[in-house]
Amino acid sequence: MFDLQGKTALVTGAGSGIGAAIARLFARRGAAVAAADLDAAAAQRIAADILQAGGRAAAYQCDVSKPESVEALVHGVLAAHGRLDILVNNAGIAHIGTIEQTTPEDLDRVYRVNVFGVYLCARAAVPIMLRQGAGVILNMASVASLVGIPDRFAYSMSKGAVLTMTRALAVDYVKRGIRCNCICPARIHTPFVDGYLAANYPGREAEMMKTLSEYQPIGRMGQPDEVAALALYLCSDESAFVTGQAYPIDGGVTAV
């Protein structure tokens, strides 16, 4: 089960955290992985890790907010592999603040990456998948697209758009061989979280880590590998009957 042999998977934001976990797991399951990230060195490290472990991977530098960068990325993957079976739209950025604390520049920055970036990557992938007669798109939404979270105005807006894009893509291509789903994580313990705590709560990292962990009723943050396992299911043939769905992986947040 969950065999990705013979498939090519493009993962954006693959340089760290959830994206890195997905790239590694997909490679272990046999996929040829295109690890894309704005940080070229981070993408290279993940690709090197995969190659050292015996998998297949190549690194790509990409700014998903720029059409020419996305076009070059997808062209490169297609030139290298001749196909694109799986697109994981994982690249994203955060913003903290209410609407009063969100400038037009803040909103545009978040939109350009989290919404426009997903659009650009999916728009480039869909024609390839249609020619193949099959393909899977997996978008990274958030629990913030399902419930209200304080001080996350711009971020919640962007992830709500990702959720509705997911359903629109699923409906438009359900008869043409393309499936599209999204994952809605609560807080996941990634290097971003550690950096955020160090920058904003110096000396209080442990205290704030406890606070962030307790937001999830289960009492902890999720791990990138746990999100990757769900991504593997949704991108494998075992989920062939699943499309247009939003999957919370949230430690009980949406259950209470």
User: Annotated active-site positions, please?
Assistant: 155
Helix (H, G, I), strand (E, B), or coil: what is residue 211? helix
Q: Under 8 Å CB-to-CB from 228, ≥6 apart: which residues?
A: 18, 21, 22, 24, 25
Cα R_g (the chain), whole angstroms: 17
The CA distance from 192 to 248, in Å, is: 20
Instruction: Please report how many Cα atoms fall inside a 13 Å half-sphere around the Cα of residue 147, on the Cβ side.
Output: 15
- Two tokens at 78? 């297609």
Task: Give rounded-to-5 percent helix, strand, coil for the chain.
Answer: 50, 15, 30
Q: Which residues pair with 61 in a beta bridge?
A: 37
Q: E strand or H helix at 36, and its extent?
A: strand 32-37
Judge contact between 181 and 244, C-beta under 8 A: yes
